[in-house]
Structure 1
């Protein structure tokens, strides 16, 4: 993308003047105060606005506006701005003058709103740069060129070097991940924590409040409530036991009734035919074993299996929670700041040397010694205080770690007991097999219930249940009673006793329901807090899991982006080293950029020195090389004109000639706008057929020119 024209409608000293530019080398030449810098300052003023509008507002004028026209890749971009109102009009057209994109709104240089972001994004897409600071650091070179300093500018430069589509996607993805992460928690593992609590901290606060309420609830509960709860527990246990006895008694009565009905028909048909044999028990067992094998379940599975599997799952969850707590304690222990005794020792040695030197040279030894002693005392107190604080924090971490280890040992002991129980029941002991078996049991619970119920029925047919409402009648007594009574009297007696037992059971169930209703009505908050507490804990576990996943994703993405950026920086430093070596005649062959994009030079093939330690001419040559090299290796393939305002002021003749050669080579692939007042440079421009714009009546000697339709421009012959 090249700059085709600058139209200064009311900008500085220019009124309704237009300046045409071309691809390649463009020289704007004129004496001092001819308006060269004012003309090129219209470029960032139109693109990004200006915070110093009064500098470019015409004297006595009420308007201040300018217009830029860019061309490239079959497109034309026209941007105009009224600097007093910040009214911007941007139009993108193709070769057939069809409008591809248009923007018109007020965009201030200090803006931060949605319109501002939309306009900057449009500049980034069309021109490749949407930030004024980055534009001046890469495309502008004045008497005091913008040096590459600061973390913010360094990040923008790194993004510009690798600003392909993939790099932009990485940046947008990183922003989304960080935004989602800090919506969940205020803890920042990569820097300072956020001040405002996020979702996780709010849930922790609510959990702490509910837990405090639960801990205070037993203290305010009366003795009557405790006794009532104990009565409920005892009654529930008794009802559960008697309900099981009632069900077994009902089955037994049904078997007696069926047997009494079957005996007369058996006596009548005894002389005619033999009764049809009952189904084989082995056949039923084989059918259950086949169905269990089809589901992947082992044969002879104990009814205690679901209980053991649930207990094993709970132990695994406890171990995972303890492991997370232990990791958090270890991370806290690593973050404890300890005093640097080596640094303090070095400072002590330095103070001793200073005091010794004062004594040796008799230079106010008393004052120097007293000052050194006071400073040493302050440093020692500070170090001791910091060490005591660190030891206290380490002790707290050690106590917490021992507490977690003790809890972990108890859980492991319980896990070992569960393993022994699994071995006794013929179940697997490895966690993977237990999880698989747990899923199979949950998926085939109905089949297993039938299998276990059949086993209970077989045991019932072999033993006589107790159905008395008051006392449990032994099986031997029941057998004696059956042998002494007739079948009819036995059946009637059993049915009557079973009915009485059922009536007693229903009365006790009604009593239990009444007690529970009284407890619920007396303490309504207890019925609400427990579900809320459970739900909050579940939400917290989900949020913690999401935070861990987001943190891992951010770290992986940051590492990938860093590797990608380093490869791009190697390409940039290679190109800068080549250009700068040519400018300096081979004196400096290697240039590198640190993590903040600050340049350093290698001296005598051994030592690296920062750029500010060299002369002004060397620094100018270095930053000129950096701008040219960056225009070549940009990852997005876009480029803007490079503007150089008298860049050779501090260069000697040798570097001056080399710099011109470098700029001419760079202009072959883009556009260079060079500002100067040097007549010799104007003569060279004539010889090399550069495009020249003369200002302030400047007429280079020996150069033939003719006026064009634009005032102040010369088309060299």
Structure 2
């Protein structure tokens, strides 16, 4: 299936002297016309840059390379463009950023909007590489060489196409390149020192064996040292446990002592509170005792005796009044019985009067007595409470004394235990010091062994790195040997190519080139042949002509025919746009007309860059369709 590529539009956003410049191209012939310095070469380079990018040179070369030459004049920071094209009837747009810091390229299918991946981009452009582009579809004139020089150029171009499918590689230079490559690989990869590296590998193995023996001995010493440390540590832990047990006992007794002391302080505080209360009660009792003394009482017993006496006195008085009242009533009754009414009523009146006075005085005395009894009861209650408080105080005082005795005994016990513990501790330092000293010695030995083992491990790492380096070097040497053999084989094959010019590619190249030279020359030269000696000749109807016998214009036609033939063979079923930069300078009008007619008939799209008007005049005269773009 034939696949055709057509460039539709160039957009030089920021490129060289152009800023936002659009150029539309069409199928068939396209003439881009412009005077010198108008930008034809810039557009030609832009197409190349869009297809393959622009790589910046290094060092001094960067000042004169293509990248620097076509940086935008007015906006160096902007360096970009796009190209619309069609492949197999599908429309695409390629956007490229040329600036090194942000270099990028993306291809979008305009028919469905899909963004192509890098792999899909490679597949899209097929076998179009920069080298094949320069050797086939990008055509310029052969230059200002003499006819003899041109024949040599054609011979070299044809020979290299036959052998390598690339036209810029000189066979002699290729052979020289391969020999230099072989020499460089041998030198850089030390292929000739393989035996030295193998001996280094054997020495390394011996070092590793010795190092493993030393490391094993150190590990055994470390194992013994660890066991010894564990024994010493066990003994030390046992001594510490005994000492700690004694200290814990002492600490427990100190806690108990503190608890008793706290309790003692609480009791002392309570004792002080009770003493304060007792003092207050004593003041109350004092005041009451003064009150009691005013009535002739001084003690609680006196109070109780007075209360009993008053009760008895009250009882006697009551019985006296009752006896008097009964006597008077009896007298009145006698007078009434003996019929002395006046005397009887008089006695009754006197009796009632005395009774009333008695009752009144009795009530007053009862109230006074009641108040006095209440005072006595209050004094009694105060005395009882004072006695109870005094008893409680005495009980607390006894409790405090008991707690003090307990605390003193506990303190005595603690002091005794402290003396015993200190006595034991005083005996322990020597042993502990010995153990600690021995532990320090063991630790120092351990650190020394650890350091020695670390050194051995470092040696292991160094040996491993050295082993890896030697292995890598031997691997590189092995790979280099393979490459050297490949280079030697390539040299052998390259020499064979020169004597097999009539191989399949050479035959096909002759056939294709003959087809194009016949069309381009209008049948004047029907066949183009390269022989075993890479001599180029063309056949007419009557004779065979060597290339050295031909004119410069005919040589240019042969050059174009070879490029067209190479494009067919390299790209096979893929048709690429043909770019011709001032390619017809050596052509006369007749040759130009036949060549342009052939391009119009055989090439899907041609872009001709020229500063002359001859091409346009010839096309108009020959009525060959074309499109012109003026810069």
Q: TM-score range by the shorter chain?
A: 0.3 to 0.5
TM-score, structure 2 as length reference: 0.40
Structure number, greater radius of gyration: 2
Q: Which has the higher helix share?
A: 2
Q: Which of structures 1 and 2 has the larger relative contact order (alpha carbons within 8 angstroms, sep 6+)?
A: 2
